[in-house]
Structure 1
Amino acid sequence: MTTKEVLLKQLSACLDQPNWFVPLSAAIEGLSAKEASFKSGTANSVWQIITHLTFWNDRYLTRFKELPLSQIHIANDETFSTNESFTEEDWQSAIKALQNVLSEWIKALEECSEEKLLLSAYKEPFEPWSSVISNLTIHNAYHIGQIVEIRKMYGLWDPKNGVH
């Protein structure tokens, strides 16, 4: 299996292909805007996690495509922000944005060469794109797991979706 094939498999597992963990599609299935905005103390809501994942996946995809970034620097805490409107329409838009960027990642990887994955993602230090994308998928899986745990905490998880 090539590096590209491994990364494609990881991204698909994050988006909608059940594997060793629940994919995003199952983690958010049936969740309402109100439920997605539930918070406990200083923990992030599901909606905030979705916003965070969309930001980082989009930012790295933009860099991977060698397009200009809209912002030079943003504090990680700021990537969890959501608007104050928690409508179903806004929630569906937030979900769609993350699903779209993950789908775009899959498409970009399918179209790229193996050589591109060996190039550095940064000017300094050297870190190949293959490593950066692998870490991005680990980051996605971590937060998808948080979504499942948050749903369990609020009694909003059905174990038939993949986790007991």
Structure 2
Amino acid sequence: MSNQLKQFLLSQLAACHDEEGWFVPLHKSLDGLTAKDALWKEDLNSNSIWGIVSHLTFWNQRYLHRFLEKPLSEENIDNTETFSEPEHESMEVEWFSEVVKTLAVMSEWREAIKLCDPVKLMGPVRENSDEPWLNTIAHINIHNAYHIGQIVQIRKVQGTWNINV
């Protein structure tokens, strides 16, 4: 049963990262997007795609470090701060670097799940917690899918979505 749980999570991670299925994966949702378009906002209360990608990178990396038992910064971070973006229209190289970083974190998650002892998936996310890693990783995948949908919607509104993608 535990190998089935790993395969379940790996399937979800692949769907969010790079395997096309019921929805567009992250890599496809970002394909061909310029830095200028990544910074575009429909209005002042909206997030940019750049901000969403920064947010995904932050939370995916933070939980990956916890899963791998790497040290975490102890700072208290307001979730709105994770939607960071440059103050100026950034160069394409910086945008490309941001995309590469978030896709790399997703690849690292897949590798971590492949290599983990399946028993770890039933273990607690943190000390004094009843929530197992299995639930947390499934929620991370749902969170990723939610924001991927936002990215596609933003691209449709701004006119940069290629319907043939």
The 8 Å contact of residues 56 and 102 in structure 2, kept in 1 or not, is answered as yes
Residue 145 of structure 2 aligns to which amino acid in structure 1?
Answer: A
2:97 pairs with 1:93: yes
Query: Residue 78 of structure 1 aligns with which residue?
Result: 81
The 8 Å contact of residues 12 and 141 in structure 2, kept in 1 or not, is answered as yes
Query: Residue 40 of structure 1 aligns with which residue?
Result: 42
* Poorly superposed stretches of 4+, deviation over 3 Å: none
CA distance in 1 between counterparts of 2:75 and 2:87 reads 25
SS at 2:164 equivalent: helix
SS at 1:159 equivalent: coil
Tell me: CA distance 1:72–1:126, structure 2 relative to 1, closer, same or farther (3 Å).
Answer: farther
Shift of 1:125: 3.2
Query: Residue 22 of structure 1 aligns with which residue?
Result: 24
The 8 Å contact of residues 39 and 85 in structure 2, kept in 1 or not, is answered as no
The alignment yields a C-alpha RMSD, in angstroms, of 1.1
Q: 1:146 aligns with which of 144, 150, 164?
A: 150
1:124-154 residue CA offsets vs partner (Å, 9 max, x unmatched): 3310000000000000000000000000001
CA distance in 1 between counterparts of 2:163 and 2:117 reads 39
5+ residue gaps, structure 2, are none
CA distance in 1 between counterparts of 2:161 and 2:150 reads 12
SS at 1:2 equivalent: helix
CA distance in 2 between counterparts of 1:3 and 1:22 reads 23
Figure out how many residues of one structure are paired with residues of the other and give that number. Answer: 161
CA distance in 2 between counterparts of 1:18 and 1:11 reads 11
Q: 1:11 aligns with which of 13, 21, 24?
A: 13
Shift of 1:61: 0.1
Q: 1:108 aligns with which of 95, 107, 112?
A: 112
1:3-35 residue CA offsets vs partner (Å, 9 max, x unmatched): 100100111111110011100111000000000
CA distance in 2 between counterparts of 1:102 and 1:71 reads 23
1:46-87 residue CA offsets vs partner (Å, 9 max, x unmatched): 000000000000000000000110243211000001222411
2:21 pairs with 1:53: no
